[in-house]
Amino acid sequence: MIPQTFEYTAPQTLEEALGLIAGGDRKILAGGMSLIPLMKLRLATPGEVVDLGRVSGLNGISENGGVVSIGAMTTHHAIETSRVTRAHCPLLAETAGHIGDVQVRNVGTLGGAVAHADPAADYPAALLALEAQIKLISAQATRSVAASDFFLDAFTTALEPGEIVLEVEVPAEDQSEGYSYEKVPHPASGFAVVGIAARIKKDGNRIAMARIGVTGMGAHAFRALAAEKVLENGGSVADAAATVGDGETPNSDLYASADYRLHLARVHAARALATAISRAS
Amino acid sequence: MATTISKPATLVGKGIRRQEDPRLITGTAVYVDDIKMPGMHHAAIVRSPHAAARIAGINTEAALAHPGVVAVFTGADVKNLGAVPCASSLPGLRVPHHHLLAQDRVYYTGHPVAVVVATDRYVAADAASLVEVQYDPQPAVADPEKALAAGAPAVHPQWPDNTSFTFHQEGGDTGQAFRDAEIVVKQRITSQRLIPTSIETRGVVAEWRPGEKSLTMFTSTQIPHLVRTLVAGILGMPENHLRVITPEVGGGFGSKLNVYAEEALMCYIAKEIGKPVKWVESRRENFQATIHGRGHVDYYELAAKRDGTMLGLKLKLIQDLGAYHQLLTPAIPTLSVLMMPGLYKFKSISADIIGVFTNCVPTDAYRGAGRPEATHGIERMVDILAAELHMDPAEIRFKNFVGKDEFPYATTTGLFYDSGNYALPLQNAMAQVDYAGLRQEQATARAAGKLMGIGLSTYGEICAIGPSAAMPAGGWESATVKIEPSGKVTVMTGASPHGQGEETTFAQIVADELGVDIDDVMVVHGDTAVVQYGIGTFGSRGTAVGGAALFYALQELKAKIKKFGAMLLGSDNVSLVGGSCVDDATGKSVSFAEMAVAAYHAKTLPPNTQPGLVATYFWEPPNFTFPFGAHIVVTDVDRETGRISIRRYVAVDDCGKIINPLLVAGQVHGGVAQGLGQALWEEAVYDEQGQLITGELTDYALPKASFMPLIESSHTETPSPVNPLGVKGVGEAGTIGCSPAVVNSVVDALSPLGVRHIDMPLTPQKIWKLIVQSGGLS
């Protein structure tokens, strides 16, 4: 549990940080709840670590014109408890409350989690269901990538060398929407064996919109598009849930084999949808 | 000087808070890793990544060339030192020579191969990865039943059958019992390998003082004196030149009831380099190289009459030993055999143990050490029998309990149960949960398609370990009590408490016996240069044996201070009352402090009396003690996911007289937590190649506080006649009573689906598969 020797830099400004990140064998420390354990186990052995913890302007939550902007260095705890997220994207606040434990939530950040892209991380399910945009910045440019184009593979994202996550933009949820994040936490790691983020908009008794993000099931989180369609076409929750994971190759490990994981995803999709429907007005 | 007199209230029996806690809670306690010495070096251990391999060569040049590295030691350096000791002896036991570092082969993943010593902990860790070991991997076997199969890889090439020993024990006539039987039930029952996982891992600091030719070793252990004797033996040095100091210990649970290679290695290295050296185990090392617990595959057969009367029990016990014998490895399953009859009147038992080598880290004592396995076995078998006979599991237990008028009760395994009222805890627990009402509720739930379970276990355990005749190296315990000239009282206990709270319970006993204020009592332990020889804390013996030694030392001291009181009062008829000595005739008294001063100033002395007030007592217990109890667990199983929820956990334990109910509650809670860990979550899993795939806390599911149900704990108090305190021991009760109650409950929940047994841990996936197989999802 002793990391290899590394250089540590803590830039104060974004410009300084982007300059440092532009070259070399550098890892970005954005909370460190994943990176530090990996380094202590020597599974990650970066030569240099750039700590974004002291960079000003990367932290904060605000709502403007129906879009909630969350700075990359905003902690899970802040997202879980902020009045802005609770009012305008309660699905994300609820999801943040399922991450790790209190200590982890007080230190870990949204940008760090998103950039790390653990296949069992909680946020990606919610960000997909919320159709969030991930804003990226490098020394040269900024760009915005839809969550559905951002998570590419296990621990692999659309981030290019020299880029960092600047902020995440979430379209505010409609007040009438229902939402739910249903998670089966691994009893040891607390990571999602499966996690289902659901949003529902009703039009009378009809489901006008369904968004379902699924994490823990495969190499990266995905939208359960077929299930969304079933609901939007008037199908039942059970029929919708039964399509979750179709065409995917579920992860398999000691705790949950592929078939059990697929089953859990479907059971918890049905539960998440039922809760979201009951919360929608 | 008069502050310590008159303390009429008794403290024994009161739930006072632990004297130890302030330093633990405020982070001011001192653990091994807190110890720093001038010039201290740091060691990192190179461990085998293979479960079985020949070592073709070791190149240490790159590591030695690394700046800050002062030495690298390999197997060749320590070849002629003694072996890691095994204290157990069984007829025909095969004991592999357990070198401090691997010689030409490695036998398990994590096997120590080399030690790198550097000026800095980080440098040592960096340099460890520069040691080049050429391994020639060999086939490995990690499963004890596969190791017994023909053609299995040999863990130790000299013993191709992988069998370390076989052991047979018989009592009564099982042949007759099975001929008389009207029903026989059989079941294979496993108790999986567990990782003890103390929060503080092992750690050692060793310092050599060349002028004094003496070594001082700080080590996180449960048995400092035994470590001193045995490590001195490994190193070939006089044991009185080795001082072992055990500072605060952050949990042991049996895993530190041992003598490890690293302890001897650090002593050897400190002497070789002439500098103090520290090694602190990482969590991965702790998982790979500190002993594991359990590791049973048991085949049971139970013979009974159709009215539920149990006649005989047969057991074939396959013990996964791992690659080596640590201190007590082969002895642990023999404890299982001793306790296999449980609380029941068996006329006969027959047991065969097969001790099997595997390419895994050795198993040894883990909280309960053989008794949880035995209790799990018998309590599962009783439930299986009850189910076959369509009897209520409580009724069949009441029918077979040893009666409360039958003590001392001689078991077919050769034990004498000391005292008990086995029906009472079960009656209390049943009343507490409204057992009849629960069964009705269950019938309603079942009719609605719900899976609700009610499980009970009635356990017995063997504690206060133990009489010396039953132990490899003494089963007594020692205590010294000193009344200091100022009247303060110092206790030195040979038991080495490490979280159990004897600094508090022993002070309670002293305060009551001497009539002094509890804050005037200091309990000292864990330093072989200060404390007289002792055995240690394990097997729920700290208070039941160490406390009894303290009690007898106090009686000697009381007799002596009374002599000084009589002298000061000029009377032969005096009594000790509270902290004072009172003249029975006149009512005049002298204080405790006045007597202490008189004993040390020694201006005059009572006849035939030495100055000073010190008494030492080594107490040999005449028997074990046998705590017992009943746990009832109510569970709900989610039909869709297999998830288990514990609705109620009721524990009624009888640990004899209770000295401090608060500490007893803590022991029950901790024990139940570890029992739930085994029942529901924990399992050390090695793959076919002998890699530990639950090698970190991210994979190995230790119970968290948030997983715990409310534990409704209460007690019955049946004093033990074995010791003057009437105590029986409580450190392991929760663990022993827990796992069968949980499994019985879940099997009961699933019984409508035809399920009659499930092996631990009861993971949701396992339960779901059973539900699916039974067609129960539809």
Residue B445 sits in the same domain as residue B557: no
Is B150 within a domain? Answer: no
The whole-chain average pLDDT of chain A stands at 96
Residue B240 sits in the same domain as residue B358: no
Residue B9: pLDDT band (50, 70, 90) is low
Residues in B closer than 8 angstroms to A188, CB to CB, are: 681, 694, 697-702
Residues in A closer than 8 angstroms to B697, CB to CB, are: 188
Pick the CATH number of A178-279 from 3.30.365.10, 1.10.3720.10, 3.40.50.2000, 3.30.390.50: 3.30.390.50
Numbered ranges of CATH 3.30.390.50 in chain A: 178-279
Of A56, A38, A54, which is closest to residue A46 (Cα–Cα)?
A38
Which of B129, B697, B765 has the CB atom closest to A260's CB atom? B765
Task: Examine the pLDDT at B159 and tell me if it is beyond 80.
Answer: yes
Residue B345 sits in the same domain as residue B480: no
Share of chain B above pLDDT 90, in %: 97
Residues in A closer than 8 angstroms to B696, CB to CB, are: 41
Task: Tell whether A43 lies on the interface with B, counting CB pairs under 8 A.
Answer: no
The answer to whether B465 and B731 have CB atoms below 8 angstroms apart is no
Closest-approach residue (CA) in chain B for A268: B641
Give me the torsion for CA of A5, A10, A15, A18, rounded to 10°.
30
**Looking at residue B179, what is its pLDDT?**
98
Residue B113's alpha-carbon distances to B116, B261, B276, B411, B504, in angstroms, are 10, 11, 21, 46, 42
Residue B53 sits in the same domain as residue B115: yes
| Per-residue pLDDT tens over the stretch A186-243 | 999 999 999 999 999 999 999 999 999 999 999 999 999 999 999 999 999 999 999 9
Residue B438 sits in the same domain as residue B403: yes
| Per-residue pLDDT tens over the stretch A128-160 | 999 999 999 999 999 999 999 999 999 999 999
Task: Tell whether A142 lies on the interface with B, counting CB pairs under 8 A.
Answer: no
- Start-to-end CA distance of chain B, whole Å, equals 79
Residue B84 sits in the same domain as residue B225: yes
- Cα B171 to Cα A90: distance, rounded to the nearest angstrom: 67
Helix (H, G, I), strand (E, B) or coil at A158: coil
Residue B508 sits in the same domain as residue B462: no
The whole-chain average pLDDT of chain B stands at 96
CA distance B694 to chain A (A): 9
**Looking at residue B165, what is its pLDDT?**
98
Residue B116 sits in the same domain as residue B245: yes
**Looking at residue B166, what is its pLDDT?**
98
Q: What pairing do the DSSP bridges indicate for beta strands B628-637 and B644-654?
A: antiparallel
Asked if B768's CB is within 8 angstroms of A263's CB, the reply is yes
Structural domain span for residue B653 = 296-466+623-773
Residue B309 sits in the same domain as residue B245: no
- Of B619, B636, B664, which residue is a domain's last? B619
Q: Which fold has domain A7-54?
A: 3.30.43
Residues in B closer than 8 angstroms to A242, CB to CB, are: none
Is B12 within a domain? Answer: no
Residue B454: pLDDT band (50, 70, 90) is very high
- Of B570, B587, B619, which residue is a domain's last? B619
Task: Examine the pLDDT at B462 and tell me if it is beyond 70.
Answer: yes
Residue B664 sits in the same domain as residue B605: no
| Per-residue pLDDT tens over the stretch B506-525 | 999 999 999 999 999 999 99
Which of A42, A187, A264 has the CB atom closest to B681's CB atom? A187
**Looking at residue B776, what is its pLDDT?**
67
Closest-approach residue (CA) in chain A for B707: A187
| Per-residue pLDDT tens over the stretch B291-338 | 999 999 999 999 999 999 999 999 999 999 999 999 999 999 999 999
**Across the A/B interface, how many CB contacts are shorter than 8 Å?**
49
pTM of this prediction exceeds 0.80: yes
pLDDT average, residue stretch B64-84: 98
Of B73, B81, B87, B86, which is closest to residue B99 (Cα–Cα)?
B81
Asked if A41's CB is within 8 angstroms of B641's CB, the reply is no
Task: Examine the pLDDT at B436 and tell me if it is beyond 50.
Answer: yes
Q: DSSP class of residue A55?
A: -
Q: Does the predicted interface ipTM exceed a cut of 0.90?
A: yes
Task: Tell whether A254 lies on the interface with B, counting CB pairs under 8 A.
Answer: yes
Residue B3: pLDDT band (50, 70, 90) is very low
Is B353 within a domain? Answer: yes
Q: How does DSSP assign B327-346, residue by residue? A: TTGGGHHHHHHHTTTTTB--
CA distance A144 to chain B (A): 34
Asked if A255's CB is within 8 angstroms of B765's CB, the reply is yes
- List A residues 55-114 in contact with B (Cβ-Cβ < 8 A): none
Residue B311 sits in the same domain as residue B277: no
Task: Tell whether A42 lies on the interface with B, counting CB pairs under 8 A.
Answer: yes
**Looking at residue A185, what is its pLDDT?**
97
- List B residues 639-678 in contact with A (Cβ-Cβ < 8 A): 640-641
- Of B576, B596, B619, which residue is a domain's last? B619
Residue A83: pLDDT band (50, 70, 90) is very high
pLDDT average, residue stretch A258-274: 98
Task: Examine the pLDDT at B18 and tell me if it is beyond 90.
Answer: yes
| Per-residue pLDDT tens over the stretch A9-38 | 999 999 999 999 987 778 999 999 999 999
Residue B489 sits in the same domain as residue B578: yes
Specify the CATH number for the domain of residue B509. 3.30.365.10
Residue B767: phi, psi to the nearest 5?
A: -65, -45
Closest-approach residue (CA) in chain B for A41: B284
**Looking at residue B2, what is its pLDDT?**
37
CA distance B434 to chain A (A): 32
**Looking at residue A24, what is its pLDDT?**
72
The answer to whether B279 and B217 have CB atoms below 8 angstroms apart is no
**Looking at residue B472, what is its pLDDT?**
87
Length of chain B: 778
pLDDT average, residue stretch B131-140: 98
- Cα B539 to Cα B729: distance, rounded to the nearest angstrom: 8
Which of B282, B693, B702 has the CB atom closest to A254's CB atom? B693
Closest-approach residue (CA) in chain B for A37: B698
**Looking at residue A142, what is its pLDDT?**
97
Asked if B769's CB is within 8 angstroms of A260's CB, the reply is yes
Q: Which fold has domain A61-171?
A: 3.30.465
Task: Examine the pLDDT at B107 and tell me if it is beyond 70.
Answer: yes
Residue B777: pLDDT band (50, 70, 90) is low
| Per-residue pLDDT tens over the stretch B665-713 | 999 999 999 999 999 999 999 999 999 999 999 999 999 999 999 999 9
Total count of domains within chain B: 3
Task: Examine the pLDDT at A100 and tell me if it is beyond 90.
Answer: yes
Residues in B closer than 8 angstroms to A260, CB to CB, are: 765, 768-769
| Per-residue pLDDT tens over the stretch B567-601 | 999 999 999 998 999 999 999 999 999 999 999 99
Share of chain B above pLDDT 70, in %: 98
Asked if A256's CB is within 8 angstroms of B707's CB, the reply is no
**Looking at residue B1, what is its pLDDT?**
35
Task: Examine the pLDDT at B384 and tell me if it is beyond 90.
Answer: yes
| Per-residue pLDDT tens over the stretch B749-772 | 999 999 999 999 999 999 999 999
